[in-house]
Amino acid sequence: MPIRKKNYKKRHSLRENCAIFGVTCDDIGFSVSKLLYQGLIALQHRGQESAGISVLKTGGNIHTYKKNGLVSRVINNQVLSQYWGNVGIGHNRYATTGSTGYKSTDYIQPFHFKNNEIEFAMAFNGTIANFSEIKKSMDEMGRVFITDTDTEVLAQLIGSIALGTEDWPEVLKLASRLLDGSYSLILMTDQGDIYAMRDPLGFKPLCIGELKSQQRNLYFVSSESCAIDVVGGKLLRDVKPGEIVHLSHQKDIHSEMVINSNRTAICQFEYVYFARPDSVIDGVSVAEARFRLGKNLAKNDPILNNPEIRENAIVVPVPDSGRSVAVGYATESKLPYAEGLMKNRYVHRTFIMPGQLKRKIAVKEKLNPIKSIVKGKDVILLDDSIVRGTTTQQIVSLLREKGEAKRVHLRISCPPIISPCYMGIDFPTRNELIAGRFQNYYGEAYIKEIQKKIGPDTLLYQTIEDLTKAIRKSQNQLCLACLTGKYPIKSVQKLAELEKSIVRSRT
């Protein structure tokens, strides 16, 4: 994802959070396309704007099909029968509006690289922070780019290095030494090999699995383990931060470490919001982490000492990502759990939906309070996070006005988000983040100000200490930059400080 230092205000031109999935099968008479489809469907929550697959057909040619739309729309039966081969990779993409041409298929992944000597397909999830420097050097060397994405810069960089050697792990190693940022990627060569690489800090999840039967053996690589479950595979392990894994039926699974670092920076937001609860990331079940987040909130909640509120209270999740948290909260507080908000499952996630207006309309279409459950109650409302605050404000007012709740007590499993993410998740600028803005204006008292703006009767956030305990990782293993403003990548830290100083100078 591009980050432009000179033009950083336009940083939103194209931002992504994506899903990647790959399959290789030792039976050349078997097509992996259906499995790619199933894997991408399981990962649909990570990106809903476009989908694509690249399949190695018999004879060694890579064929790529990609289009804007949900997986079920893009990859239909006709595509499945046409794109037939025993090795393939796929990608779901999310990007915000703003970039001219972002709807063009050139912006959709997998990125298919082909010249006279090399052919490969690549699918990538992350943000290359120093992509403009790399692009500039490659521009000077005469490279021609067709998009303004870091994905293409990454693919062109890999393609340039691969001209000098056919040793793919070496190519990826050399590329990774030049890259600064967050990336999990999979690359399929025209020889039928799949390589999976995770950046040295391990921001984005990536895991491998297998499915062995008497007829055939399959290996999988996926953004999340839920997709490996869905295709009937067994999760083998995570790709380690700084590791390159080679999936090949001739050589089995081969691994090389690029960098062995004590510090990792696994995105905390994967556990809090992004990942599916049935996924296991770096050895931690997402559902269990969310359950513990809910328990922690209840342990620290002062309203639970008030008998009048306790007697009248119900614990209500914001569906779907608030559910595991609400179950944890209800278990710890011994209060009744109730589904007080009905979700229309055909309206997709609002946070990753581009455009503020679209998001606003989507909330109303998506959620409706169940009056018979919430009327007259002290609703303890559990949600995963507050980003801009507009969605939460709407939900609180829906519960009050349409649901006729007596009081709404808002409990948030993620600590206040005060800083943008430059590592691939589409957070707005600091000034658009409600906690970033109010913290800047009101210092210590900013939580009260957020409460006033959003409108609940009480508001409680998770602490950073309790967040890390619930995820069962130390602060040294997680990226907490959007909560602390301290970025684990130096070049990004400089950019964040620049933005912060500009916001301050405007207040």
Residue 342 C-beta: closest distance to ligand SF4, Å: 29
What is the C-alpha separation between 432 and 1, in angstroms, rounded?
Answer: 20
- Is 297 a binding residue for ligand SF4 by CB under 6 A? The answer is no
The contact mask relative to ligand SF4 for 236-275 (x = CB under 6 A, - = no) is: -------------------------------xxx------
- Is 482 a binding residue for ligand SF4 by CB under 6 A? The answer is yes
- Is 481 a binding residue for ligand SF4 by CB under 6 A? The answer is yes
Q: Please, are residues 3 and 11 in contact by the beta-carbon 8 Å criterion? A: yes
- Is 341 a binding residue for ligand SF4 by CB under 6 A? The answer is no
Closest-CA residue to 72 (of 102, 50, 105, 54):
50
State which residue, 247 or 480, has the beta carbon closest to ligand SF4: 480
Place of tokens 């959007």: 482
Residue 142 C-beta: closest distance to ligand SF4, Å: 34
Residue 487 C-beta: closest distance to ligand SF4, Å: 7
Residue 146 C-beta: closest distance to ligand SF4, Å: 28
> What is the radius of gyration, based on Cα positions, of the chain?
23
* Contact residue for ligand SF4 among 203, 291, 329, 461 (CB under 6 A): 203
Closest-CA residue to 94 (of 199, 1, 201, 197):
1
- Is 492 a binding residue for ligand SF4 by CB under 6 A? The answer is no
Residue 350 C-beta: closest distance to ligand SF4, Å: 17
Residue 246 C-beta: closest distance to ligand SF4, Å: 27
Binding-residue total with ligand SF4 (CB under 6 A): 11
What is the C-alpha separation between 188 and 114, in angstroms, rounded?
Answer: 12
What is the C-alpha separation between 104 and 263, in angstroms, rounded?
Answer: 38
Residue 268 C-beta: closest distance to ligand SF4, Å: 5
* Contact residue for ligand SF4 among 53, 425, 434, 450 (CB under 6 A): 425
State which residue, 284 or 423, has the beta carbon closest to ligand SF4: 423
Stretch that binds ligand SF4, among 111-119, 247-255, 302-310, 479-487 (CB under 6 A): 479-487
Stretch that binds ligand SF4, among 49-57, 248-256, 351-359, 419-427 (CB under 6 A): 419-427
Q: Please, are residues 422 and 496 in contact by the beta-carbon 8 Å criterion? A: yes
Closest-CA residue to 188 (of 92, 113, 120):
120
Q: Which two tokens stand for residue 151?
A: 């994905």
- Is 496 a binding residue for ligand SF4 by CB under 6 A? The answer is no
Q: Which two tokens stand for residue 349?
A: 């996630």
* DSSP code, position 326: H
* Catalytically annotated residues: 18
Q: Please, are residues 241 and 201 in contact by the beta-carbon 8 Å criterion? A: yes
State which residue, 337 or 422, has the beta carbon closest to ligand SF4: 422
Stretch that binds ligand SF4, among 56-64, 342-350, 404-412, 475-483 (CB under 6 A): 475-483
Kindly report each contact of residues 355-363 with a partner whose C-beta sits within 8 Å and lies 24 or more positions away, as own/partner. 355/96, 355/97, 356/388, 356/390, 359/390, 359/391, 360/390, 360/394, 363/391, 363/394, 363/395
Residue ranges with strand state E in 174-286? 181-189, 194-198, 207-212, 217-222, 234-238, 243-248, 252-257, 266-267, 280-281, 284-285
Query: What values do phi and psi take at 241, rounded to 5?
Result: -55, 130
Residue 3 C-beta: closest distance to ligand SF4, Å: 12
* Contact residue for ligand SF4 among 162, 338, 373, 421 (CB under 6 A): 421
* Contact residue for ligand SF4 among 55, 87, 123, 423 (CB under 6 A): 423
* DSSP code, position 16: B
Cβ neighbours around 447 below 10 Å, total: 16
State which residue, 208 or 481, has the beta carbon closest to ligand SF4: 481
End-to-end CA distance of the chain: 29
- Is 479 a binding residue for ligand SF4 by CB under 6 A? The answer is yes
Q: Please, are residues 328 and 293 in contact by the beta-carbon 8 Å criterion? A: yes
Stretch that binds ligand SF4, among 29-37, 286-294, 463-471, 478-486 (CB under 6 A): 478-486
Residue 331 C-beta: closest distance to ligand SF4, Å: 26
- Is 408 a binding residue for ligand SF4 by CB under 6 A? The answer is no
- Is 231 a binding residue for ligand SF4 by CB under 6 A? The answer is no
Q: Which residues bind ligand SF4 (CB under 6 A)?
A: 203, 267-269, 421, 423, 425, 479-482
